[in-house]
């Protein structure tokens, strides 16, 4: 694994194909893959047809009870380690593809997205060897007893639908435990970010993953591959990360087949800044939690609540931090923030900015589109933006924006801060900044979220449960929690 500027974008000007039953295939329909930095076409993508989706699901079904389950856990895990090695062997290509698709910085792609993708395969390959089972001795009337024990069986054919913000990282976060536990998969990456999934199919093919175990179909959601997969009668489980509204649609589509579901959905995450915090650390941490990846991370902070005695000072410090963010070319090592994923998404974010202004928000900084004087003006950039002065009922405070935006609100007491943070239809993550350890424990445990950080943000242990409540999701991922979702425990009773 080498750090440096990528030399070329894989498949630039070419075709990204589907991968079905061990073969790369195209069809009759194509769509363009657009670079959000300058609006140019990177390559074209084959959109899978219904027949191709059916073929992918059938291939996965055949491999499930055939070649894949005939391998021992050790053999499956050895293959997953080879996949991790294969990602690292083509590290620069994955980095280049990720940057071209998303516009994210070289630093983020090199230090987070691609390394974590390889790490996911190794982590779950090792974890599945320690997956627990139960065993009980049961009394019987004849005094001889019975032995009840459980075995973990794969849940079946899994549809993995991945998002565009962390395309490879979140795809492998689902794919690795699904394969480690003996399932077969059909994956659908976002139509916005198809490249790294295609490279991953090439790695799977090269390292000898048996045909049918891993299948890739490109396309869209409604009236395309996404709907075809979630409605398919031979799909046993669906795992999805993305918008809450899309999650609701998938739940409705999957209900007829009573499929197992795992959803990590949207967030409207809050940060609570108490007056006794380490001020510089709280400002730096909140800058990260608001503006990382252009705010396009489900864990990013959009609502910031600050104790009144330090409110003005904190707003001024955040303004200084936001205005110092360098928006630039992804390949420049000092670039802090790239574009949003698409012009369509930029239009959505700008509509929230317009609504905030119409509601009387005070613009602390940003609130518009940057001008570069070069081809980046054709990209999907938005300025880092901070607002104050809105009510909690405003559109900006109620709905997920998913952009480089936050609103800062003062509070007067711990009880008020907790109430403000929890007054949301979402419940994914929260951050608490205080040097009072008792308060940190107390407030974190009161947050109606799946993940709460005290004096940090995005500090992850991959063994811990990850997920949300309310509109933010169903189920938990991470460590044994992921393995449990992709496994079906079966009880065996032996009369002694």
Domain extent, residue 484, equals 15-265+472-495
Give the pLDDT band (50/70/90) at residue 2. very low
Q: Please check whether residue 1 lies inside any domain of the structure.
A: no
What integer is the mean pLDDT of 233-250? 94
Residue 327, Cα to own-chain centre: how many angstroms? 23
Of the pLDDT bands very low, low, confident and very high (cuts 50, 70, 90), residue 7 is low
pLDDT of residue 256: 82
Q: What CATH number is given to the structural domain containing 116?
A: 3.40.605.10
The answer on pLDDT for 263 being more than 60 is yes
User: Is 225 in the same domain as 302?
Assistant: no
Known active-site residue 93: no
User: For the domain that residue 276 is a member of, what is the CATH number?
Assistant: 3.40.309.10
10 Å Cβ neighbour count for 430?
A: 30
| Separation CA 468–CA 482 (nearest Å) | 14
| Backbone angles phi and psi of 403, in degrees to 5 | -150, 180
pLDDT in tens, 393-439: 999 999 999 999 999 999 999 999 999 999 999 999 999 999 999 99
Residues 432 and 491 in one domain: no
Residues 445, 349 share a domain: yes
Residues 290 and 177 occupy one common structural domain:
no
Answer yes or no: do 321 and 440 share one domain: yes
CA–CA separation, 86 vs 134, rounded Å?
A: 36
Q: Are residues 258 and 308 in the same domain?
A: no
Residues 109 and 71 in one domain: yes
User: How many residues comprise the chain?
Assistant: 496
Q: Is residue 187 part of a domain?
A: yes
Q: Are 257 and 358 members of one domain?
A: no
Q: Which helix (H) or strand (E) holds 152?
A: strand 146-154
What is the number of domains present in the chain? 2
Which of 47, 191, 192, 264 is labelled catalytic? 264
| Rounded percentage of the chain residues whose pLDDT exceeds 70 | 99
CA distances from 23 to 45, 215, 216, 474 (A): 16, 9, 10, 34
264 classed as catalytic: yes
Domain membership flag for residue 437: yes
| Annotated catalytic residue, options 277, 298, 300, 406 | 298
Q: How many CB atoms lie within 10 A of CB 312?
A: 12
Together in a domain, 61 and 94: yes
Tell me how far apart the alpha carbons of residues 85 and 96 are, in angstroms, rounded to a whole number.
Answer: 18
pLDDT tens profile 293-328: 999 999 999 999 999 999 999 999 999 999 999 998
Buried b (16+ CB within 10 A) or exposed e, 206-234: ebebbbbbbbbbbbebeebbbbbbbbbee
């Amino acid at each position: 694994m080498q750090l440096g500027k990528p030399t070329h974008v894989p498949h630039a000007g070419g075709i990204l194909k589907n991968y079905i039953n061990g073969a790369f295939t195209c069809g009759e329909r194509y769509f363009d893959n657009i670079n959000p930095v300058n609006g140019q076409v990177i390559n074209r993508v084959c959109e899978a047809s219904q027949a191709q989706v059916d073929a992918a699901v059938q291939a996965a079904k055949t491999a499930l009870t055939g070649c894949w389950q005939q391998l021992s856990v050790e053999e499956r895990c050895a293959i997953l380690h080879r996949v991790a090695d294969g990602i690292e062997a083509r590290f620069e290509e994955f980095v280049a593809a990720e940057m071209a698709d998303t516009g994210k910085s070289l630093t983020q792609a090199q230090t987070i997205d691609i390394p974590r993708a390889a790490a996911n395969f190794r982590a779950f390959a090792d974890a599945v060897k320690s997956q627990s089972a139960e065993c009980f001795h049961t009394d019987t009337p004849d005094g001889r007893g019975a032995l009840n024990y459980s075995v973990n069986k794969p849940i079946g054919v899994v549809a993995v639908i991945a998002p565009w913000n962390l395309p490879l990282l979140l795809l492998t976060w689902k794919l690795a435990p699904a394969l480690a536990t003996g399932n077969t998969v059909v994956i659908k990456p976002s139509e916005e970010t198809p490249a790294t999934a295609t490279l991953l199919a090439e790695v799977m093919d090269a390292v000898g993953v048996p045909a049918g175990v891993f299948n890739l179909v490109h396309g869209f959601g409604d009236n395309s591959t996404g709907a075809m997969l979630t409605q398919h009668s031979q799909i046993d489980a669906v795992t999805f990360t993305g918008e809450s509204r899309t999650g609701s649609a998938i739940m409705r589509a999957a209900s007829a087949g009573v499929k197992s579901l795992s959803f990590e959905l949207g967030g409207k995450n809050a940060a609570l800044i108490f007056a006794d915090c380490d001020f510089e650390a709280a400002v730096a941490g909140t800058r990260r939690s608001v503006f990382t990846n252009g705010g396009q991370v489900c864990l990013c902070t959009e609502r910031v609540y600050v104790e009144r005695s330090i409110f003005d000072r904190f707003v001024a410090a955040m303004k200084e931090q936001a205005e110092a963010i360098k928006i630039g070319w992804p390949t420049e090592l000092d670039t802090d923030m790239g574009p949003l994923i698409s012009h369509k998404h930029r239009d959505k974010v700008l509509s929230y900015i317009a609504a905030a202004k119409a509601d009387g928000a005070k613009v602390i900084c940003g609130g518009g589109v940057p001008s570069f004087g070069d081809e980046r003006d054709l990209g999907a950039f938005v300025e880092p933006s901070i607002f104050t002065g809105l009510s909690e009922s405003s559109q900006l405070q109620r709905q997920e924006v998913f952009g480089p935006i936050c609103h800062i609100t003062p509070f007067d007491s711990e009880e008020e801060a907790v109430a403000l943070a929890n007054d949301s239809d979402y419940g994914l993550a929260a951050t608490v900044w205080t040097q009072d350890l008792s308060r940190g424990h107390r407030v974190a445990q009161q947050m109606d979220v799946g993940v709460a950080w005290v004096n940090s943000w995005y500090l992850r242990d991959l063994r811990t449960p990850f997920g949300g409540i309310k509109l933010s999701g169903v189920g938990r991922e991470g460590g044994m929690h992921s393995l449990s979702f992709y496994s079906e425990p079966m009880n065996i009773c032996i009369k002694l």
